[in-house]
Amino acid sequence: MLLPEPTPQQAADIIAITHLAAGYAEAICRGDIDEAVLVYADNGVLRSPTTTDSVGRQAIADTIRTATAGMDFVFQTVHQGLVRVDGDEAWARFPITEWGRRDDKGVQFLGMYDDHAVRTAEGWRYASRYLAPRTLGRPTSFTGRIIDLGVLSSSPLTA
C-alpha cells in the first residue's frame, strides 16, 4: 500500500505515532505493562480474536498480564509500519514479531497491529488497537540464560 507524501505536520505526527508503537514494544520487552498501556487513551480499546475487548488502561493491563502469565520473558519487535494522519485522527498498521519463553520452551508470534490513534491533551494516544495474529509457533531456541535489563535504567534515553 502506497500512502500519499505527508505534509511537514503530518510527518511530525507520523513520528509521534511511530514512537507510540516503539514505546509500547520497548516497555513490553522490559516487562513494564503499566508503562506499556500509557500509549492508550484513557478509554482506549485493545481487541484481538483470542480475547474479549479490553476497554481502558487497567483492563488492557489486566488482559496483557493474563496473556503473558507464566512467561519467563516476552520480547516484542515492532517493524516499520504505515501511518495515515487526518487532522486529530490517524490510522496505522504495524507488523510485529514476539518471542518468549514459557516452561523452558520458546514461543514465537507473528502478527499485525491495526491502530486508530487520536490526538489528546497528552499527545497522540491509541483509541484502539486490533492485534491480528498471523502465526504462533515454537522455535527451538531461547534455551539460554535470561539477562536482566536493569542496566538500561541508567541510560540517557530514559532520563
pLDDT tens track for 33-49: 999 999 999 999 999 99
In this prediction, residue 1 carries a pLDDT of 74
Lowest mean pLDDT among 19-23, 102-106, 124-128: 102-106
For the chain, give the percent of residues with pLDDT over 70.
89
pLDDT at 5 over 60: yes
Instruction: Give the integer Cα–Cα distance in Å for 70 and 66.
Output: 9
CA 129 from chain centre, in angstroms, equals 9
Q: What's the pLDDT at 27? A: 97
93 touches 81 (CB < 8 A): yes
* pLDDT of 75 higher than 90: yes
Give the model's pLDDT for residue 149: 72
Mean pLDDT of 77-97: 97
Beta strands in 10-158 (DSSP E): 40-48, 51-55, 71-78, 82-86, 89-102, 105-120, 123-137
Q: Determine phi and psi for 50, rounding to 5 degrees.
A: -105, 0
What pLDDT is recorded for position 16? 98
Instruction: List the domain boundaries for the chain.
Output: 8-142
- Mean pLDDT for the chain overall: 92
Fold of 8-142: Nuclear Transport Factor 2; Chain: A, (3.10.450)
Would you state the pLDDT for residue 136? 84
Q: What is the pLDDT of residue 140?
A: 73
Q: In Å, what is the CA distance from 158 to each residue of 61, 68, 70?
A: 22, 24, 27
Per the structure block, which three cell numbers stand in for 64?
Answer: 496483557
Position 97 pLDDT exceeds 90: yes
Closest CA to 70 of 31, 38, 109: 31
What are the two backbone dihedrals, phi and then psi, of residue 138, each rounded to the nearest 5 degrees?
A: -120, 95
DSSP state of 102: E
* pTM of the predicted model as reported, rounded to 2 decimal places: 0.87
What does the pLDDT read at residue 143?
66
| Mean pLDDT, range 89-102, rounded to an integer | 96
**Who has greater pLDDT, 154 or 87?**
87
